[in-house]
Amino acid sequence: MRWIAVDWGTSNLRAWVMQGDAVQAALSSADGMGTLARDGFEPALLRLVGDHLQDGSVTPVICCGMVGARQGWIEAAYQTVPSSPPQAAQSVSPVCDDPRLSVSILPGMSQASPADVMRGEETQIAGFLAAFPDFDGVLCLPGTHSKWAHISAGEVVSFRTFMTGELYALLSRQSVLKHSIPDDGWDDAAFTDAVGDAMSRPERVVADLFSLRAQGLVSTLDPAVARARLSGMLVGMELAAARPYWLGQNVALVGNGTLSQRYSEALAAQGVTAQTTDAEEMTLRGLRAAFHSLSEGA
């Protein structure tokens, strides 16, 4: 059976045309939720996947991500932790003008105290649990807004969000540090040292940030070292704050290649060996699981 899996974030729209569990086409556009008014979602979806719809038949479309936010296509109210990740039964369906579309939007998850929310990562977690149903421990999902989630007996028990990726982007591109931080280049030792420094003296990061600029003015600083050090400072702050999550725990990473690798190295330096899985694969697994539960429920 043909269906469409959709990961609809703030900046991007990604879709996979599926035949059962097999991917037939992977598509994407810049029509993120942040760029669309409420009546712009269906046209944006049709622009991307319209060629894959068949007249006279209805294609299920399973979506996760910011598309279900209050400012999205239709609000899919957060599911509160502790709870298993949302499944198809919790999804909401916007009314579509095109009779070929049957859209289901999965909700995100929320936590009352400390206040926290996620939209999209819950589907990666669902995918991870579909692949490793007996996993008990902590998932780290690095990114713009990194998440750490405590998983037990198939449920998300608690989670926390860290603005690490967004801080890196703001500091490297829009602050006075933009003169010192290049778009590429890397130095493993500088990263590891900065992680360690930030973990042992997290408060110093706010002073050490400006030194990245000053060192280039009063002497020299290899731009690759500056870039790795900035990343290490911010990841180190995150690891210091997330210590109750990873210390003595069974940890798995759900992320993309390079970033996941850096978190893995930083955790290894703390004596934590983290299993590494691919974020896109877990998203797709989570959407597949939702599709199956939808089919079974229908």
Q: Do the Cβ atoms of 126 and 293 come closer than 8 Å?
A: no
The kind and range of the H/E element at 101 are strand 101-105
Please pick, from the candidates 62, 140, 167, 181, the single residue that binds a copy of itself as defined by CB under 8 A.
167
Positive/negative CA dihedral, 212, 213, 219, 220? positive
The smaller minimum CB distance to a copy of itself, of residues 158 and 264, is found at 158
Q: Which parts of 100-163 fold into alpha helices (H)? A: 121-131
Determine if 241 is a binding residue for a copy of itself (CB under 8 A).
yes
- The CA-atom distances, in angstroms, between 109 and each of 45, 83, 112, 291 are 24, 9, 10, 19
The DSSP symbol for 106 reads: -
The smaller minimum CB distance to a copy of itself, of residues 182 and 210, is found at 210
Determine if 175 is a binding residue for a copy of itself (CB under 8 A).
yes
- Tokens for 172? 């490297």
Determine if 171 is a binding residue for a copy of itself (CB under 8 A).
yes
The smaller minimum CB distance to a copy of itself, of residues 131 and 240, is found at 240
- The CA-atom distances, in angstroms, between 63 and each of 6, 30, 34 are 4, 16, 16
Q: Do the Cβ atoms of 209 and 171 come closer than 8 Å?
A: yes
Using CB under 8 A as the binding rule, the residues of this chain from 76 to 105 that contact a copy of itself are 78
The smaller minimum CB distance to a copy of itself, of residues 212 and 282, is found at 212
What three-state secondary structure class fits 121?
helix
Determine if 52 is a binding residue for a copy of itself (CB under 8 A).
no
b/e map of 245-273 (b: 16 or more CB within 10 Å)? bbeeeebbbbbeeebbebbbbbbebeebe
Determine if 164 is a binding residue for a copy of itself (CB under 8 A).
yes
The smaller minimum CB distance to a copy of itself, of residues 126 and 221, is found at 221
Give the range of 19-27, 91-99, 166-174, 222-230 binding a copy of itself by CB under 8 A.
166-174
Please pick, from the candidates 163, 193, 223, 250, the single residue that binds a copy of itself as defined by CB under 8 A.
163
Determine if 42 is a binding residue for a copy of itself (CB under 8 A).
no
Positions in the binding site for a copy of itself (CB under 8 A): 70, 78, 110-112, 114-117, 145, 160-164, 166-167, 170-171, 174-176, 202-211, 213-215, 217-219, 221, 234, 237-238, 240-243
